[in-house]
Amino acid sequence: MSEPLRIALAGLGTVGGGVIRLIETNADLIARRAERRIEIVAVAARDRSKDRGVDLSRYAWEDDMTAMAARPDVDVVVELVGGSDGPALTLARNTLAAGKDLVTANKAMIAHHGLELAALAEKADAALKFEAAVAGGIPVIKSLKEGMAANDIKRVYGILNGTCNYILSTMEDTGRDFADVLAEAQAKGYAEADPTFDIDGIDAAHKLAILSSVAFGTRMDFKSVTTRGIRRLLAADIAQADVLGYYIRLIGMADTEVDASGQRRLVQRVQPHLVHRDHPLAHVDGATNAVVAEGNFVGRLLFQGAGAGDGPTASAVVADLIDIARGDIGAPFSIPVAELGEAPAAETGDRIGSAYIRFNVADRPGALAEITAAMRDAGVSIESLIQKGTPGLAAGDADTVLVHMVTHDGPESAIGRAMALLCDSPCLTEPPVVLPILDE
């Protein structure tokens, strides 16, 4: 057996603690599969005195984690601190500049600085691996880069945020409203005290930008991801979707198009969608993640599992370490950085699809006529329209009713025009909620 692979661990929180437990528990089988042992040499966190439920006395403690990159006894640095910039980024840069391999679970950092880090890694002939950054324990980066490597991948989408999926499936099961379920999720530790990154779709957008670069071989472009979260969804939306045969899921979707001039363009969006009961993503419940990828030969593949948590995330981190131990470095984004294609954001107005729209309507004469006229004038064809007697929102909104509409397939720009026509309407008490219906 070769020399052990010596690693330094920065960050000893949920994921870092999990990695230590995993490496200790499964040491022998890891050594068999990696054909060498994986040895933790040094660790770092903020607070040296915190009890982390694991015995750290065997490992050197670094007060300044960025110094790990310079340790001559370390082959790989594992960054499990978090944050797109700051010390995590400094450590990542130093590690790769020192010619050492870097493994990270930090989607924010990879989404913002992945290309720069990949270029550093290539220059140093070092590995940059981030399986844990997307969909936790699911080996989706490996599956896209290697398992589907023979395919032109056309589209990749999925449920990328466990917190949102937990909230949506709990709203579904209990009929309760968003704010109520969020508060409970926070109390139970399923949602952060500041849940913005999760529920506004930013975390999913980080993951989507990474997925689409790996899948399509294009330069990562996080700022072009259109992001809408789940804050505005009501129990009534979920109930109405159910009647129509759908579930509501926060979907990150990356799709490729070729424009009139032959330029490949990308659509990258995170937003709640209606997902038909027969679609495999409809049955993904709780904090589970799932990713669908479509290749020109393999067709549609689905990967499903735990998207977060100490065990699953550690499993992905250590899989990256085993690859490195086996000498499998690979290009971080599937092809060398210099060959990654440019893919400007698509003009999405021409995309054809159907949508669910919910209007909060002031309960007064002519409201429905105004909405339907706007649809007609914008060229949106209505498949169904439901106005229930139930008041839209609780106390204080007694004179608001909800109108639910499903459109026929048509260009997205038409719905945009209809929304523009209605934007100043006194009939609406708040802006409509538009949810695309995921096609099969």
| Active site residues per annotation | 207
Question: Quick one: how far is CA 144 from the chain centroid?
Answer: 15
Return the H-helix or E-strand segment holding 4: none
Other CB atoms within a 10 A radius of the CB of residue 127 amount to 23
Residues 9, 23, 41, 80: which binds ligand NAP (CB under 6 A)?
80
Segment lying near its own copies (by CB under 8 A), choices 53-61, 62-70, 140-148, 161-169: 140-148
- Residue 308, amino acid: A
Interaction partner, residue 15 (its own copies, ligand NAP, none; CB < 5-8 Å by kind): ligand NAP
Residues 6+ apart with CB under 8 A from 120: 93, 96, 97, 126, 128
The reply on whether position 17 binds its own copies by CB under 8 A is no
Rounded CA-CA distance 372/379 in Å is 10
Closer of 153 and 164 to its own copies (Cβ): 153
Residues 314, 355, 361, 428: which binds its own copies (CB under 8 A)?
314
What radius of gyration do the chain's Cα atoms show? Answer: 24
Rounded CA-CA distance 226/236 in Å is 25
The SS3 assignment for 380 reads: coil
Task: Output b/e per residue, 132-151; b: 16+ Cβ within 10 A.
Answer: bbbbbbbbbbbbbbebbeeb
Segment lying near ligand NAP (by CB under 6 A), choices 5-13, 117-125, 250-258, 336-344: 5-13
* Strand ranges in 116-245 using DSSP code E only, listed in sequence order: 128-129, 153-159, 226-227
- Residue 116, amino acid: E
Residues 309, 311, 391, 410: which binds ligand NAP (CB under 6 A)?
309
Interaction partner, residue 106 (ligand NAP, its own copies, none; CB < 5-8 Å by kind): ligand NAP
Residues 28, 29, 47, 390: which binds ligand NAP (CB under 6 A)?
47
Interaction partner, residue 16 (its own copies, ligand NAP, none; CB < 5-8 Å by kind): ligand NAP
Residues 70, 258, 298, 420: which binds its own copies (CB under 8 A)?
298
The reply on whether position 275 binds its own copies by CB under 8 A is no
Residues 6+ apart with CB under 8 A from 161: 198, 201, 203, 204, 207, 250, 252, 289, 307
Segment lying near ligand NAP (by CB under 6 A), choices 12-20, 140-148, 257-265, 422-430: 12-20
Write the DSSP symbol of residue 67: G
Q: Which of 244, 233, 200 is nearest to 433 (CA)?
A: 233
Closer of 87 and 432 to ligand NAP (Cβ): 87
Residues 119-148: x/- map of binding to ligand NAP (CB under 6 A)?
-------------x---x------------
Main-chain phi, psi angles of 408, to 5 degrees: -75, 165
Rounded CA-CA distance 304/289 in Å is 6
- Least separation in angstroms between CB 336 and ligand NAP: 26
The reply on whether position 107 binds ligand NAP by CB under 6 A is yes
The reply on whether position 78 binds ligand NAP by CB under 6 A is no
The reply on whether position 46 binds ligand NAP by CB under 6 A is yes
Segment lying near ligand NAP (by CB under 6 A), choices 43-51, 118-126, 347-355, 379-387: 43-51
Closer of 75 and 320 to its own copies (Cβ): 320
Rounded CA-CA distance 418/382 in Å is 12
CB 361 within 8 A of CB 400: yes
Closer of 139 and 229 to its own copies (Cβ): 139
Closer of 74 and 427 to ligand NAP (Cβ): 74
- Burial (CB < 10 A; 0-12, 13-18, 19+), residue 162, is buried
Residues in the chain: 440
The reply on whether position 174 binds its own copies by CB under 8 A is no
- The residues of the shown chain that bind its own copies, judged by CB under 8 A, are 18, 22, 25-26, 29-30, 32-35, 131, 137-139, 142-143, 145-152, 217, 278, 280, 283, 295-306, 309, 311-312, 314-316, 318-319, 321-323, 326-328, 330, 334-336, 339
- The residues of the shown chain that bind ligand NAP, judged by CB under 6 A, are 11-16, 44-47, 50, 65, 80-82, 87, 105-107, 132, 136, 308-309, 313
